[in-house]
Amino acid sequence: MNDYEKEEKEMSNKKEILAYVSMSVIMIALGASDAMRGIFALVFEKHFALTNTQISLIVTISYMGNLVFLLVGGKIADRFHKKAVSLSVMCIWCLAALLYLVTDNYYALLIGMFFTMGASTLMNTLINIMTPVLFASAPAMIINTLFFVQGIGTTGSQKLAGMYASDINSWKITNAILIAIAVIGIILLAFTPMKEPKRQQANASKSKGFKEVVQNPAFFYLILILGCYFVAEHGMLNWFVSYAYNKLGLSMKQASTFLSLFFGGITIGRLIFAPLIAKFGIQTSIKVFGGVATCFYAIGIVLGAKGVFILSITGIFFSVLYPTLIMMIQGYYDSDIVSTATGSIISVATIFDIVFNIAFGYIIDKIGFGKGFMILPITMCIFYVIFRIFDKRVTVIGENNHEIY
């Protein structure tokens, strides 16, 4: 290796380090921000004198923000430089979070939730899309470590904010800190050199859109795969504590502890298993971890109180699934449409989540928690079966057919 090649390699390493640090800082801020909604729910209820319907509207508005930002933002990211779009999205997030600081109004809170949650979800997706461009050697490993960093932000903020979330002033102070962290990440990202992947010459003159996304044979498979996965993972997040308390006879503290083990396993697993994802490749990793996660998840729920520990440790096998599934989408679409495809698929799959959470309460009232909760392992099994069918029937497109898949 001559001096020029050494210098080029050194510059490349510096670029990767700067990109990783900037994305890590942003992921910490976004992860912490996403966790605040649940932690401060009681503060909102008391301060604004909210009904249960008004509290649930906060969650609904957040989902709507996700849908709109992913649908619109994905298309914008394909038309413009992804770095510029990412910086713009983070500026929107900061301005929306700033709204929490300068207002004291329930409707302003809803507006802020729409933009902060929507921008956060879109930024997570953009980071996933940019990772193969910035870290070509091991993108799947890098994205899992980035989501691990985000998990630290989420878990750490839940612990700290849980101790100090006493009134609306603590809400404002928390967001001021998160804005400061986000600004640091924005500055670092602004100084990170980034090249856009070259568009295919044959398609350079054509403007692709949602029609081309839907016509791809992978589209509906990916929606079903992600939709079922969202129900299985988020069903645990939203309903496990109530299920464990009402059906299994656990105390609220015990139920919360088991749920913490589940999501703690997701955080730790992303760090531990990241090198394996790089070694196995995306498809094989989902086969292995998806299969093990499905088995443990189903056994843990079917066994009821006897299986609650098995269920709680299943999180470690769930850990790599979401970031790896999102990266998998890129294997089935050309680079000039991948942002539109990713945003569209995730946003439509999110509807599964919304419908499930609306319907699940009604189902529980009709048949009880014991039978109703069985929907989750069934959904997880459907996720895995559809993935295996998809993996056999749909092939990775030519320009993405390399070793990471």
Weakest-pLDDT range from 86-95, 142-151, 191-200, 239-248: 191-200
- Indicate whether this model's pTM tops 0.85: no
Cα dist from 43 to 36, 141, 233, 260, 405, whole Å: 11, 38, 26, 22, 46
In whole angstroms, what is the distance from residue 368 CA to residue 361 CA? Answer: 10
Q: Can you give the pLDDT at residue 52?
A: 67
In whole angstroms, what is the distance from residue 21 CA to residue 43 CA? Answer: 33
Q: How confident is the model at residue 227 (pLDDT cuts 50, 70, 90)?
A: very high
Task: Please give the helix or strand (H or E) that residue 110 lies within, else none.
Answer: helix 106-134
pLDDT, the chain, mean:
85
Domains 3-196 and 210-400 share a fold: yes
User: So where are the chain's domains?
Assistant: 3-196, 210-400
CATH number given to 210-400:
1.20.1250.20
Domain 3-196 has CATH 1.20.950.20: no
242 vs 318, more confident: 318
Q: Can you give the pLDDT at residue 4?
A: 53
Q: What is the pLDDT of residues 335-385, one digit of tens each?
A: 878 888 888 898 899 888 888 877 887 788 888 888 999 999 999 999 999
Neighbours of 235 (CB within 10 A): 21
- State yes or no: pLDDT of 323 exceeds 70: yes
Task: Give me 295's structure tokens.
Answer: 């088995």
